[in-house]
Structure 1
Amino acid sequence: GLWWGLFAIVPLVRLRDRRSGPSAASAGRPLSGGFRQLLATVKDMRRYPLTLFFLLAYLVYNDGVQTVISQASVYGSAELGLDQTTLIGAVLLVQVLAVAGALLLGRLAQRYGAKRTVLGSLVAWTATVAAAYFLPAGEPVWFYVLAAAIGMVMGGSQALSRSLFSQMVPRGKEAEYFSVYEVSDRGTSWLGPLLFGLTYQLTGSYRDAIFSLVGFFVLGFVLLARVPVHRAVAAAGNRAPERI
C-alpha cells in the first residue's frame, strides 16, 4: 500500500487535465455514458486492425504473466512446501527487481527495438516457467532465484508492451484506447487461472499446472512476431521511431 500510495502522488500532483470538456458519449450520465464511450472506442478500433492484432497478442502473453504472478505463491506453498516468510520475501523481491528489470529492458529496447526486446522477454518467461517445473521442494534459495528471474522480465515486458501500444494509437485518442487496453486485460484475466486449475484437477500436479502456462508465452510470441509494427504505427497516423 505504501509503494502504490507513494507513486500515486506523482500523477496526482504533476498531471493536468487537458480536456476541453466531457465527450458527447459520456456527458450527462457518467456510468451509462462510460459504457457508450467504451463501445464507441471499440468500434473505432476496427479501423486499425493491426492495432487490434497487437492487442490480441498482448492479451495472450500478459495473461500468462498475470497467472504466474498470482499462482506462484500457491505453487510455492502447496507443491514446494515453503513457509509464508519465504513467500512474502519472494513477492517483495519480485517488486524491487521489476524496477531494475524495466530499466534494463528499456536500455535493450533503445538498442534492439521494443518489439525484439519484448519477444526476447517472452523467451525468458518461457524458460523461467519451464525451470519452475524442476524446482526442488523445500529449497527456498531456488525459489528466490526463480522470483528474481520473474522480477527481471516482468516490469520490462509490461512497460515495453504499453510503449509499443502507444505508438499504434491515433493522436488524441490515447485515453480511449488505453481504457480498452486495460478493460480487455481484466476481461481475459480468468483464462490463465482456469487453465492452471483445470490442469491441476486433471493431473493432480501443481508442476504440470505451472508448466501449462508456457503455452501463453509461446502463443503470444508467435502472434507478436507476426505484428508488422511499422505498418501498424503508420496506419495509426504516427511516425515510427528508428528502432521499434
Structure 2
Amino acid sequence: ALIGGLIDDLVGPKIIILTSLFILAGTGIAMYFVEGPLAFWIFGLILCLFVGPAQSASRGFLARVAPAGHEGQMFGLYATTGRAVSWMTPALFGIFVSLIGDGDRGGVLAIAVVLLVGALILVPVRDPKKHEPETAQPAV
C-alpha cells in the first residue's frame, strides 16, 4: 500500500485502481490453473500485494470526485453501496463452483469476474484533477 501510495502521487489513483484490479483478476484466473501449495502461496502473496493499493487509492479517488461540501454523503454512499452488494461475490462464487465444479477453484474465477466488472465500470469515470485546466501562476 505504501509503494502504491507513492505511485498514486505520481500517476493518480485511477491508474493504481485499474492496474491493481487487472492484476488481481489475472492472478485469480492464474490460480484456477496452477497446482500445488507453492503456486498457491506465490499467487496468494501476489494478491495480497495489490489489495491495499486498490483500497487506499479508491478512497483517494472518491475524495477527488466528490463535490465540495458533499464528501460525507459520498463516503456514506460508498460504504452503503459496498454493504448492499456484498452478497454478489459469494453468490457468484457458489454459482461458479456449482457450474464449473473442481471445488473452490471454480469460485476463484467468480472473484476474477467481479474484479473485472468493477474495473470496466471505473474506466469511463473521469478524474477531475487530471481534467482541470492549467492556470497560469503569477510571476513573483
**Aligned to 1:190, which of 87, 94, 99?**
87
Give the greater-gyration-radius structure (CA).
1
Shift of 1:176: 2.5
Q: Counterpart of 2:99?
A: 202
Partner SS state of residue 172, structure 1: coil
The AA in structure 2 aligned to 1:214 is A
Shift of 1:217: 2.1
Give distance in 1, aligned partners of 2:63 and 2:91. 30
Q: Counterpart of 2:125?
A: 227
Give distance in 2, aligned partners of 1:123 and 1:165. 19
Give distance in 1, aligned partners of 2:13 and 2:67. 19
Q: Counterpart of 1:146?
A: 43
The AA in structure 2 aligned to 1:217 is L
The AA in structure 2 aligned to 1:178 is F
Shift of 1:161: 0.4
TM-score (norm 1): 0.50
Overall identity of the aligned pairs, in %: 27
Matched, 1:167 2:69: no
Shift of 1:172: 3.0
Give distance in 2, aligned partners of 1:113 and 1:180. 22
Shift of 1:111: 1.8
Give distance in 2, aligned partners of 1:170 and 1:225. 20
Q: How does 1:47-62 map to 2 (within 5 A)?
A: none
Question: What count of residue pairs does the alignment treat as equivalent?
Answer: 133
Shift of 1:117: 1.6
Shift of 1:230: 1.9
Give distance in 1, aligned partners of 2:55 and 2:95. 26
Matched, 1:215 2:130: no
Give distance in 2, aligned partners of 1:160 and 1:188. 20
Give distance in 2, aligned partners of 1:213 and 1:107. 27
Q: Counterpart of 2:136?
A: none
Shift of 1:170: 2.5
Shift of 1:116: 1.2
The AA in structure 1 aligned to 2:12 is G
Give distance in 1, aligned partners of 2:101 and 2:117. 25
Shift of 1:183: 1.0
Partner SS state of residue 211, structure 1: helix
Unmatched 5+ residue regions in structure 1?
A: 1-101
Unmatched 5+ residue regions in structure 2?
A: 134-140
Give distance in 2, aligned partners of 1:156 and 1:190. 23
Give distance in 1, aligned partners of 2:126 and 2:71. 20
Shift of 1:142: 2.4
Q: Deviations over 1:130-167 (max 9, x none)?
A: 11112314x2x322212211111001101100100011
Give distance in 1, aligned partners of 2:21 and 2:126. 18
Give distance in 2, aligned partners of 1:224 and 1:156. 16
Give distance in 2, aligned partners of 1:186 and 1:202. 26
